[in-house]
Amino acid sequence: MKVVETISDLRSIRKFWQTESVAFVPTMGALHSGHLSLINRAKSIATKVVVSIYVNPLQFGPHEDFTAYPRTKEQDLQLCEENGVDLVFYPDTQELHPEGFGAITHVIPPPHLTNQLCGLSRPGHFTGVATIVLKLFNLVTPDYAVFGEKDAQQLAIIQHMVQDLDIPVIIVPAPTAREFDGLAMSSRNRYLPSDCDRQQARLLSRLLMAVQELYRQGMETTDETLTLAKERVLDESLYPDFQLEYLAAVNDKTFQPVAILEDDSRILVAARIGNVRLIDNTLISEPIRLGAPAPQLTLAN
C-alpha cells in the first residue's frame, strides 16, 4: 500500500493506472467497520482502491467539533493496509489550500437540498462537503466513488452535483453498518463513553424502527406517524441529555419532504447527546437489522 501526502505524488501514481479501474472512498479518518464496508465494496467493483483521509475544515461550522474530531492516523493506515487499499491520500490543509480558504471557489449545492435537515443546523456544511469532494474527484479521477447511505443527505447532494456538473464518476451507495444493538457506526460514537450515553444514542435507531412499525401497521400521515413514534420512544425522565434535532421523512428520489408515507420514503433523524451530534436514517420499507454486527475491526497488534 502506498501513502502519499502531496498532490503531485498522487497524480504521478494515478498516471500509472491508466488501464486500471479505480474506486475511491473519501473519509475523514477515525476509521471503523462502516468505512471498511465501503472499502470492501470498492474492492469488489474496481482493480485499484484509493482512500482519502482528510478532516475537512470547510465543512465544520465555527462552533463545531473540528479540533476535537478524532484523528487516529497509525490505526487508520494499518486498517487500510489490512483491508487491501492500494493508495491512501493523506494531505494536510496546507497542501490542499496553500492560500487559505478566504478566496477559494466554492461549490454551492442547490437550496432545495440544503435548506432542510442537517443543512438547517449546519449552515455552509454541504458547501464545504461538495467543494472538497469535487476537488478530491479532480485529483483522484476515480471511475467509482463509494459513499455511505448513513449520510443520506450528503449522498443525495453528491449525486446531484455529479449529474449537474457532468463529473465522469459513478457514485456507488453503500448500506449503513450498525453495532449489534442498532446504533449506526460513526467516528463520533467513541465520544459516548458511558452506558447512559450509549442507551441514549440507541434512541435514534429506535425512533426509526418505531416509524417503520407504525407504517407497517397502516399509518400513512407523516406528521401523525412521526409524532406518535416520538411519544412512544422518547421519555425525558429517562433520557435527560437526549435532544432531538429532527425526525423527518423525505421522498428517497427527490429528497423532498413528504406529507404521506410510502415505501420509498426515507426517515431521517438527528440528535445531540450532550456535545455529541449523531444522525441516522433508513428507507421506511427496509428493516433495520439488529444483532447482526458488521465485521469487527481487527488489528494485527
Helices 152-164 and 125-140 cross at an angle (nearest 10°) of 60
Across 58-108, where does the E strand assignment appear?
87-89
> Which lies closer to ligand AMP via its Cβ, residue 38 or residue 214?
38
Task: Say if strands 144-148 and 265-273 run parallel, antiparallel, or are unpaired.
Answer: unpaired
Nearer to ligand AMP, 8 or 67 (CB): 67
Between 89 and 147, name the residue whose CB sits nearer to ligand AMP: 147
Question: CA 180, CA 36: separation in Å to the nearest integer?
Answer: 16
Q: Does the footprint of ligand AMP cover residue 147 (CB under 6 A)?
A: yes
Give buried/exposed letters for 31-68 (b at 16+ CB in 10 A, else e). Answer: bbbbbbbbbbbbbeebebbbbbbbbbbbbbeeeeeeee
Per CB under 6 A, the segment of 3-11, 87-95, 146-154, 191-199 that binds ligand AMP is 146-154
# residues near ligand AMP by CB under 6 A: 17
Instruction: Give the one residue of 77, 185, 229, 267 binding ligand AMP; rule: CB under 6 A.
Output: 185
Active site residue 35: yes
| 43 interacts with ligand AMP by CB under 6 A | no
Q: Which three cell numbers stand for residue 16?
A: 500509472
Please identify, among the stretches 12-20, 28-36, 92-100, 239-247, the one whose residues bind ligand AMP according to the rule CB under 6 A. 28-36
By CB under 6 A, residue 34 contacts ligand AMP: yes
Length of the chain: 301
CA angle 233, 185, 125 (to 5 degrees): 90
| 76 lies in the site for ligand AMP, by CB under 6 A | no
CB atoms within 10 A of CB 168: 9
Q: How far apart are CA 216 and CA 284, in angstroms?
A: 9
Stretch that binds ligand AMP, among 31-39, 104-112, 234-242, 253-261 (CB under 6 A): 31-39
- Smallest gap from Cβ 236 to ligand AMP, in A, equals 27
Question: What is the set of active-site residues?
Answer: 35
What is the binding site for ligand AMP (CB under 6 A)? Answer: 27-28, 34-35, 37-38, 147-148, 150-151, 174, 176-177, 184-187
